[in-house]
Amino acid sequence: MLEEKEQPGEKKIIIDEDWKSQVQKEKEKTTGGPQEQPERHTSLPPASLSFLFASLATQAFIGLGLVPHPATQKSEIDLGAAKHFIDMLGVLEEKTMGNLTPDEKNHLDGLLFDLRMQYVDVSAKKK
């Protein structure tokens, strides 16, 4: 639908309000029907700092070879990746200082301690 709006002393402005439906109709003609989006069923927990901490820690554990990589199902040591994710948790610790609940702080402190000790252990065994 084209709508013309005219302001006194100005040029005509033509607004095409119906372009999305026209594009959809053209798409349906070329593909043979309406496009359906695949339905996704995810059972992710609610977003939270604790979930973020656990996600980064899991990546660090994968880098340390303590958890199999989800794509390959193989345990491979990548100390650079492990250090990166441990450092990311350290940045979160620094930037959230004084703003975490006691549970969040304990969770982060525990993860960092465990990951750092595991990193030292895996590094020593790799030499």
pLDDT for residue 93: 97
Q: Are residues 66 and 118 in the same domain?
A: yes
Domain assignment present for 110: yes
Residue 2 banded pLDDT, cuts 50, 70, 90: very low
Q: Are residues 83 and 114 in the same domain?
A: yes
Q: Among 41-50, 55-64, 82-91, 113-122, whose mean pLDDT is lowest?
A: 41-50
Q: Are residues 13 and 61 in the same domain?
A: no
Task: Report the alpha-carbon angle 126-91-78, nearest 5.
Answer: 20
pLDDT for residue 102: 96
Q: Are residues 65 and 111 in the same domain?
A: yes
pLDDT for residue 14: 58
Q: Are residues 54 and 20 in the same domain?
A: no
Q: Are residues 66 and 111 in the same domain?
A: yes
Output 44 or 119, whichever has higher pLDDT.
119
pLDDT for residue 92: 97
Q: Is 120 left (phi over 0), alpha (psi -120 to 50) or beta?
A: alpha
Task: Report the alpha-carbon angle 49-123-75, nearest 5.
Answer: 70
Domain assignment present for 38: no
Domain assignment present for 43: no
Domain assignment present for 85: yes
Residue 44 banded pLDDT, cuts 50, 70, 90: confident
Q: Are residues 15 and 54 in the same domain?
A: no
Q: Are residues 66 and 13 in the same domain?
A: no
Q: What is the rounded average pLDDT for all residues in the chain?
A: 84
Q: Are residues 26 and 53 in the same domain?
A: no
pLDDT for residue 91: 97
Residue 11 banded pLDDT, cuts 50, 70, 90: low
Domain assignment present for 22: yes
pLDDT for residue 127: 76
